[in-house]
Structure 1
């Protein structure tokens, strides 16, 4: 059985969904599995036979909504990376439009495969009777390989904090800036990893706000880093802090834990499963800068606690892309059999 996988071929900067696609395609090639990538401009006008299964990427949701088709014969499905209408940065009207597009597209599919357990549960509830599977991401091996061992001392200097997210309103940099603004008397520096050109006005306002409270000199912006460079950076970090108000999974958190770095994060997406509260990091409510400040302050002030969190993280086996691909194939096999 051939499986046509329709997804964007290039994306700059790459999103978590785009990286997921790359790994799945690469693993399929490694195993000789008949997963055939197809450009969307070809697939949107193509006719597929009933013997073929077609998996559409939800990164194409807007294009699919503009060209509605009904695929209830069970041969077409949607790989769902995220639920766009849950983005708190969107206005009410825009959320309604995305919700309508989402329902229109998913309602016309024969099956859906989610990349997070929470998204899968949402799909099962929203679309009763629709076959739904779950295939959560794996971890690039460069991250566990970057772990600092107990006999490797940290580099001297201030506590190094990393936030791995594009500079977008929903990612919570503003809340974290407010939280860190009350901790200026402590020695720390803040490393941003992510694109700043996707919402340039927002990124500019963040820098202006940081300068206004005297924190601009403590911020180091690295831009988008490929996995090996990000792993090397995480090796130097003492703490990863993510203040996002909206996630479907949380690959940056999973990579930080795999690299053995203590985490403070908002309890969105799958954070409660990725970060063990009080053992490998702290979880706080979204959009609560005071709680965020308290959690960050505890780890800034307590090097021994950071070390305990680091040691516990290194004991956790990271999920592999081989395991992720096994879930991928298992679900598609059930779909084909049905």
Structure 2
């Protein structure tokens, strides 16, 4: 039996795309007969307390020599010393969802520090697994990781039963993503401000605790715009409950500034939703023609135009819904993703 140690920061059940990817890959590897040993590293990453970082390093030092270890990039990128010590005795694999230094809202010093830290850490990894072609390019270009040391394992998408959509009065908009600045909710609110004459309501599903200051600023923005009663923050929901929000929506919109992949977009496609998206990174590659409208990065004018089109044109929504279902059929499922992950791991064993 193949044995893998999987190290992660924080709580594995955290309802975000990155943690969701981790959970699905772990479950898929176990279905393939792997024994996966979970290795929690503590909270606070990518800015952990010194004590947390020291304890995480001690945990890795306690793993058996020759073991194969995957470390989630949210932690790996700030553990260059631990990576240096581990690389000689472990098969060390980094899982990078997106470069830490590309997170929105970092100061210049924070971004520079994360860049140097992640570059040094990745230099000690035997292999790097990334979740999109865009991230693979960034890992190679930013950090100088050779292409042969990088494997792309796209997230899977669960197939869904198709529910036909038609006119139902008030248009139900849905966004899914943790409430942080990178998700661009402020941009979305600014775009919606010009569409008061349309009958719509926006539900936002995503954790509110990652950046309380961002949440407070968004509430203030809504109040200033007079849109408080047209937007509802639902908070984080359990993964098994998320599908219900997709099924009840008419249009999915996420005005991200950057995404390493954007699992919420493909989940929306699988539910037959027309999609409006924006941002750098992998977003443009994730959104298929016909099923989605890509609005560039931080362009509220394009966002407003796309929203108005789908708010006022039911025929267009129905055409995009059908195209979304066709596009979803071509997406890999989680069995495919786990199998590709297993092949990548097998290829880097000593």
Please report how far the alpha carbon of residue 9 of structure 1 lies from its aligned counterpart in structure 2 after TM superposition.
Answer: 6.8
- Taking structure 2 as the reference length, what is the TM-score of the superposition? 0.87
Any idea what SS the aligned residue of 1:69 has?
helix
Q: Provide closer, same or farther for how the CA distance between residues 190 and 130 of structure 1 changes in structure 2, counting only shifts above 3 A.
A: same
Please report how far the alpha carbon of residue 226 of structure 1 lies from its aligned counterpart in structure 2 after TM superposition.
Answer: 2.2
What residue in structure 2 maps to residue 6 of structure 1? 7
Contact 1:74 1:109 in 2 (8 A): no
Any idea what SS the aligned residue of 1:261 has?
coil
What residue in structure 2 maps to residue 112 of structure 1? 128
Contact 1:111 1:132 in 2 (8 A): yes
What residue in structure 1 maps to residue 46 of structure 2? none
Q: Superposition pairs for residues 1-338 of structure 1, below 5 Å?
A: 1-8=2-9, 10-11=11-12, 13-40=14-41, 41=56, 43-50=59-66, 52-61=67-76, 64-65=79-80, 67-70=82-85, 71=87, 75-125=91-141, 126-128=144-146, 131-141=149-159, 144-145=160-161, 147-149=162-164, 153=166, 156-277=168-289, 279-316=290-327, 317=329, 318-336=331-349
- Taking structure 1 as the reference length, what is the TM-score of the superposition? 0.90
Please report how far the alpha carbon of residue 61 of structure 1 lies from its aligned counterpart in structure 2 after TM superposition.
Answer: 2.8
Please report how far the alpha carbon of residue 281 of structure 1 lies from its aligned counterpart in structure 2 after TM superposition.
Answer: 1.5
Please report how far the alpha carbon of residue 324 of structure 1 lies from its aligned counterpart in structure 2 after TM superposition.
Answer: 0.3
CA deviations on 1:92-112 (whole Å, 9 max, x unpaired) are 111101101101110111111
Q: Provide closer, same or farther for how the CA distance between residues 201 and 39 of structure 1 changes in structure 2, counting only shifts above 3 A.
A: closer
Partners of 2:12 and 2:95 in 1: CA distance: 17
Partners of 1:266 and 1:73 in 2: CA distance: 43
Give 5+ residue unaligned stretches, structure 1: none
Please report how far the alpha carbon of residue 11 of structure 1 lies from its aligned counterpart in structure 2 after TM superposition.
Answer: 4.4
| Alignment root-mean-square deviation, CA | 2.1
The answer to which of 172-181 and 63-72 deviates more is: 63-72
Partners of 1:9 and 1:163 in 2: CA distance: 24
Please report how far the alpha carbon of residue 159 of structure 1 lies from its aligned counterpart in structure 2 after TM superposition.
Answer: 0.8
Any idea what SS the aligned residue of 1:79 has?
strand
Contact 1:253 1:274 in 2 (8 A): yes
